[in-house]
Amino acid sequence: MAEPFTILTSLPMLLIRDNIDTDQIIPSREMKSTGKTGLADGLFAGWRYTQIGGRETDPSFVLNDPHYADSQIILGGANFGCGSSREHAVWALAEYGFRAVIAPSFAPIFAGNCARNGVLPAVIDADAIAIMEKTDSPVTIDLGAQTVSIDGGESWTFPIDKEAKAMLLEGLDAIDLSLKMANDIATWQEADRAQRPWIYLGANQ
Amino acid sequence: MRKWGLFLPEPSSLFDKLWNSHVVAALPGGGALVAIDRVFLHERTGASALNSLAEARRPVADPARVFAVTDHIVDTRPGRTDKTLMPGGQAFITETRAAAKAAGITLFDVNDPDQGIVHVISPELGIILPGCTLVAPDSHSCTQGAFGALAWGIGSSEAEHAMATGTLRLNKPKAMRVCFSGALPKGVTPKDMIMTLIAQYGAAGGKGHAVEFAGQAVSALDMEGRMTLCNMATEFSAMSGFIAPDAKTFEYLKGRRYAPKGTDWNRAVECWTQLASDTGAVFDTEIEIDARAITPMVSWGTSPENSVGISGTVPDDASDRALEYMALDKGQALAGTSIDAAFIGSCTNSRLPDLRRASALLKGRKIAGHVKAICVPGSSRVKREAEAEGIDAIFRDAGFEWRESGCSMCFYAGGESFDAGSRVISTTNRNFESRQGPGVKTHIASPETVVASALAGAIADVRELL
């Protein structure tokens, strides 16, 4: 169960490139165990370190810029999180300390993975992101109000579906919620089995 | 048949039929609890999801409808075992094996005759069926939409949810129809169709949509070609891609191991025949592409949207970052660019017809001496069937390596890869930075274009070979 997300103020780290894929967020070679932890070290490994598989940091990559050392928000480009469905990308971001990504658009699987791990995917248009980039000062995300605002400056709203919002605000577990509907599921399956028996595979296949 | 009509006012889209027939209940937030008919895991993330469920003491609700396969990091060199070149990779295989056994799900293991890439073997075994919902923690699950199913990629948490509850909590995406009118020219393939769509409408062009592929050029494709087309719906940022099932679909599935048999088969076909968009069905977005105008495609950058026709040049508005990575210049012609390696394989283009078409072009020819070329059949069955036809000998004689099936060098997991910084022409679906190895410059293209380029030693137009 993820930590609830309500209001967050932080200096956003600037990583405004379109189509940042999950192979860049956590390269496959950095997924070294079958667990969900130990991934922060591999976050953006291909850009963050000077050599593939190495650990010498590349000072030219923004994650290594001391100015953004305490950032909990990433300011990203369009189609953020495209590519592989690996949830490890979100686990790595969360373990490193990021709680939100602000971008003009997100790849759908990535956005779904975010909401299940206490990381907010906030859709804000590119013009507003450009203003935040230029200002380069802390922003406050208020999930309840669905706003992102530059402290003492402009404010924008972002859309989020009600369920993702509720799960993030309350740190709810989706499986718990659905298991409470076990009766609905059983009733549906019984009716469906009569119509599509071939869906329900037996032991004789 | 009643199954679909019951829920729906006429006229409805194929997507409406797939969606509405799986809604278990509406959710308070406006979404729906949607029934999931099949879950398919792989060894890269399977153990993680199964172990996490077990730790939470949540049993798999219906293990008979959950499958797993070793495809992602399993070695593809001959004589393979559980050992892989990926550091620590063996643990993913052994832990998935143990977790699958404990959960009581069916695993197609390393040396199982049915082993292969998940999106190749699921159709081969009749696990995917028309009108079915299937999810897998793999973004290319949309491949299986080729059978008139709703299939899509999910993360690990949703895989756990699907296994524990037989459902997912979803918001209904918008409906898009992409119509490819006219017939494809010679030398042009379904890979070129989907690359054209993404190049024209962008890598986020399908955002928020479920995409039906339709039109003359789509109906004309064999099932394997339809899978190639649907495979890259995720590169279009769509939730999924799918095609209405027809006689070819039913013919492909008949007699497959998990497909319905006897009277159930007849009932199923009657039911599946209803799975088409009704005349007058309304779509949120419609795109029409003239198939006659499509040419062989090749990517030049680091996103699949960075693609042009084979006789094209790197566009003037190309990003400096992509050009620096790919070591190309604005205005540079793609054709004639020297390559170091060629790869035929992956869930996009590794099925028997792909290998047949490639071998027909290779027969009696030799690839350029400086090119490292590898062919990885999509499944152990594809490999056996290709070998029975002598296709392996044609590949080997031409200078290709012939491998065991798996995802192989479609991506780099820390083990085997192409040489650092090398330029590869590949039938895979992603040309991301370092996707196929450190600094590797990937150009994605059809099997035909990969063969033509391997022969020439440089990116080449297959139409000159025809």
Tens of each residue's pLDDT in chain B, 466 residues: 345 444 566 799 999 999 999 999 999 889 999 999 999 999 999 999 999 999 999 999 999 999 999 999 999 999 999 999 999 999 999 999 999 999 999 999 999 999 999 999 999 999 999 999 999 999 999 999 999 999 999 999 999 999 999 999 999 999 999 999 999 999 999 999 999 999 999 999 999 999 999 999 999 999 999 999 999 999 999 999 999 999 999 999 999 999 999 999 999 999 999 999 999 999 999 999 999 999 999 999 999 999 999 999 999 999 999 999 999 999 999 999 999 999 999 999 999 999 999 999 999 999 999 999 999 999 999 999 999 999 999 999 999 999 999 999 999 998 999 999 999 999 999 999 999 999 999 999 999 999 999 999 999 999 999 9
Q: Which residues of A touch B408 (CB under 8 A)?
A: none
CA distance B433 to B104: 39
**CATH architecture, domain B296-465:** 2-Layer Sandwich (3.30)
Indicate left, alpha or beta for B117 from its phi (over 0: left) and psi (-120 to 50: alpha): beta
Give the CA count within 13 Å in the CB-facing half-sphere of B243.
Answer: 32
Check CB contact under 8 Å for A79 and B204. yes
Check CB contact under 8 Å for B203 and A105. no
| Candidates B56, B166, B438; nearest CB to A52 | B438
Residues with Cβ within 8 Å of A154's Cβ and at least 6 positions away in sequence, in order, are A128, A131
First to last CA, chain B: 46
Phi, psi of B181 (to 5 degrees): -90, 155
Q: Which residues of B touch A111 (CB under 8 A)?
A: none
SS3 breakdown of chain B: % helix, strand, coil, rounded to 5?
Answer: 35, 20, 45
Q: Searching chain B, which residue's CA lies closest to the CA of residue A164? A: B29
Helix (H, G, I), strand (E, B) or coil at B435: coil
Check CB contact under 8 Å for A196 and B204. no
Check CB contact under 8 Å for A46 and B433. yes
Q: What is the pLDDT of residue A152?
A: 86
Q: How far is B361 from chain A (nearest CA, A)?
A: 31
Check CB contact under 8 Å for B65 and A201. yes
Q: What are the structural domains, with CATH classification, of chain A? A: 7-172 (3.20.19.10)
Q: Which residue from A83, A78, A89 is spatially nearest to A124, judged by alpha carbons?
A: A78
Equal fold, B17-171 vs B296-465: yes
Q: How far is A2 from chain B (nearest CA, A)?
A: 12
Q: Which residues of A touch B51 (CB under 8 A)?
A: 34
Q: What is the pLDDT of residue A170?
A: 93
Q: Which residues of B touch A46 (CB under 8 A)?
A: 433-434
Indicate left, alpha or beta for B74 from its phi (over 0: left) and psi (-120 to 50: alpha): beta
| Candidates A84, A108, A198; nearest CB to B268 | A198
Q: Which residues of B touch A203 (CB under 8 A)?
A: 64
Q: What is the pLDDT of residue B395?
A: 98
Name the residue ranges covered by the structural domains of chain B: 17-171, 296-465
Beta-bridge mates of residue A142: A7, A147
First to last CA, chain A: 37
Helix (H, G, I), strand (E, B) or coil at B41: strand
| Candidates A78, A83, A182; nearest CB to B139 | A83
The CATH classification number of B17-171 equals 3.30.499.10
Q: What is the pLDDT of residue B2?
A: 43
Amino acid at A7: I
ipTM for the whole complex: 0.94
| Candidates B58, B87, B157; nearest CB to A113 | B157
Alpha-carbon separation of residue A57 from A10, A44, A46, A63 (angstroms): 23, 11, 10, 9
Phi, psi of B382 (to 5 degrees): -55, -40
Alpha-carbon separation of residue B233 from A147, B186, B251, B263 (angstroms): 32, 24, 24, 34
Q: Which residues of B touch A34 (CB under 8 A)?
A: 47-48, 51, 91-92, 95-96
Residues with Cβ within 8 Å of B326's Cβ and at least 6 positions away in sequence, in order, are B300, B301, B302, B441
Helix (H, G, I), strand (E, B) or coil at B99: helix
Check CB contact under 8 Å for A23 and B434. yes
Cβ pair A89, A26 in contact under 8 A: yes
Residue with tokens 């049993």: B59
Q: How far is B357 from chain A (nearest CA, A)?
A: 28
| Candidates A27, A52, A179; nearest CB to B165 | A179
- Which band of pLDDT confidence, cut at 50, 70 and 90, is reported for residue A204? very low
Helix (H, G, I), strand (E, B) or coil at A142: strand
Beta-bridge mates of residue B152: B135
CA distance A178 to A112: 16
Q: Which residue from A162, A49, A169, A50 is spatially nearest to A99, judged by alpha carbons?
A: A169
Check CB contact under 8 Å for A85 and B95. no
Enter the DSSP assignment of B338: B
Name the strands in the sheet holding A12-15, side by side, starting at the edge strand that comes first in the sequence.
A12-15, A73-76, A100-103, A120-123
Query: In angstroms, what is the C-alpha Rg of chain B?
Result: 21
Alpha-carbon separation of residue B32 from A17, A163, A178, B15, B385 (angstroms): 33, 10, 11, 15, 43
